[in-house]
Amino acid sequence: MMDFFWSLGSFVVALGILVTAHEYGHFWVARKCGVKVERFSVGFGKAIWRRKGKDGTEYVLAMIPLGGYVKMLDERVEDVPEHMLGQAFNRKSVWQRIAIVSAGPIANFIFAIIALYFMFLIGVPSVKPIISDTIADSPASVIKVTEPSQVIAVDGKKVRDWEEVNLALVGHIGAQNLSITVASLANLTPVMNAEKDAALIGKTYQLDTKAWKFDPEKESPITALGLKVYRPSLKPIVGAVIEGSAADQAQVKVGDTILSINDKPYGDWASFVALVQQSANKSLSLKIKRDGEILILPVTPKAEKNAEGKLVGLIGISPKSPKWPENMLIQMEYGIVGSALNAVDRTWQLTAVSVKTIAKLFTGDVSVKNLSGPISIAQGAGRSADYGLVRFLGFLALISISLGIINLMPVPVLDGGHLLFYFIEVVTGRPVPERVQEIGFKIGAVMLLLLMSVALFNDFSRL
């Protein structure tokens, strides 16, 4: 229950920040263009806080935190006194109206750059993209790995950690081929610095990706491509026990060392997990060592459905996190200028990948099952907040970019739909008839409702 409220709170805070940034873009440019702004609202519905500013604008915080709006003086909405006609939105030139409407999405991109700037300035501890091997008969099987090696570039684009590799690969879904450049572990630097590996020289392999497909709910593009991610060996030491789980009920404690299960000596964590998963609702004998004492604990894995809908056994423990070798760690931290350059570059990458992903929804390379709604976003907000300010800033930047792109889509009701009508006005020299706009807005509302319905259905199916 606490996880629910934490995710909900993080979601409300994140959405409030992003909505404020978006609406402030409209507000600021409207004021600069001489438009009278009557209300600036974060949220919809009944106001829980309001204040009248010296500028005559009413600032409102409303009860439903799922958006916001800027109410401008407009003859199409209400009667405007003659002495205020010059401050009405509809009386402004088409280019001023374009500037006001586009300012919201643009503010989202600017906010993303600012969030990423502070993220890189603070520093993001991460892990270098080291592979231990490749999967046979996969696109990546052409890469010959004789020792742990670092992926240093994807299609010529330098990558420094697994997040950047993942981002680069997602952008190539549906491509016929791509190149992967790897460098031997022997050439890696022994310090945690993002700049040191920039000059690494490796070997480039061309991968045939015509048949490369993957389901984001079941695997990452990294493993789907056939790259085996290097991980330090997991020791048989319990690092966490989920409250109320089968292991908790069996009195398994953090710090216990697993010696055997059903008299079968512990081999590795993967084999241990496989045996537990095969033993749903079956009693197991777990031999552990605690403070020098040997204990035998009976534990019965609880049966739960996995991502494929199959029943598997779970006992609710995870191993103690292993220590990573220093030369495999990296600190994504830059100075004042470097943070700004990397923030702009990351924003551009995220924007490009997001646009390509939306396009691939129409080509079928990406399934509509991958669409996420407010529930998934709330869960993402909660998880990122768990990791601290740095990860939360990265999450805010990603969602802000997504909001900016979605709002620019040429769908009536969204900012992009308004811009479409205004650009038609620029070309034809006269406004699009209001009747046509009304029909467009109704169609756009239905399209948006259908899209949200699919996203919510996907959210609930993932719960």
Please tell me which residue in 23, 58, 78, 219 is annotated as part of the active site: 23
CA–CA distances in Å: residue 267 to residues 233, 234, 259, 264, 279: 11, 10, 9, 9, 17
Measured between alpha carbons, how far is 304 from 322 in angstroms, rounded to an integer?
27
CB 314 within 8 A of CB 276: yes
Residue 448, both tokens = 């948006």
Measured between alpha carbons, how far is 177 from 207 in angstroms, rounded to an integer?
5
User: Assign residue 59 a region: left if phi > 0, alpha if psi is -120 to 50, beta otherwise?
Assistant: beta
Q: Which amino acid is at 324?
A: W
Residue 344, both tokens = 């702009």
Residue 120, both tokens = 């890189």
**CB contact set of 348 (below 8 Å; sequence gap of 6+):** none
Measured between alpha carbons, how far is 199 from 197 in angstroms, rounded to an integer?
5
CA–CA distances in Å: residue 338 to residues 50, 123, 183, 333: 41, 12, 24, 9
Tokens 């630097």 correspond to 189
38 annotated active-site: no
CB 68 within 8 A of CB 14: no
Residue 403, both tokens = 């909001």
The interaxial angle of helices 389-408 and 336-363, nearest 10 deg, is 50
CB 356 within 8 A of CB 133: no
Q: What is the CA radius of gyration of the chain?
A: 27
3-class DSSP state of 457: helix
CA–CA distances in Å: residue 72 to residues 83, 100, 156, 403: 16, 11, 48, 22
The interaxial angle of helices 336-363 and 94-122, nearest 10 deg, is 120
Tokens 């438009």 correspond to 35
Tell me the residue ranges of DSSP E strands in 86-223. Answer: 124-127, 130-134, 149-154, 157-158, 177-184, 203-208
Task: Report the catalytic residues.
Answer: 23
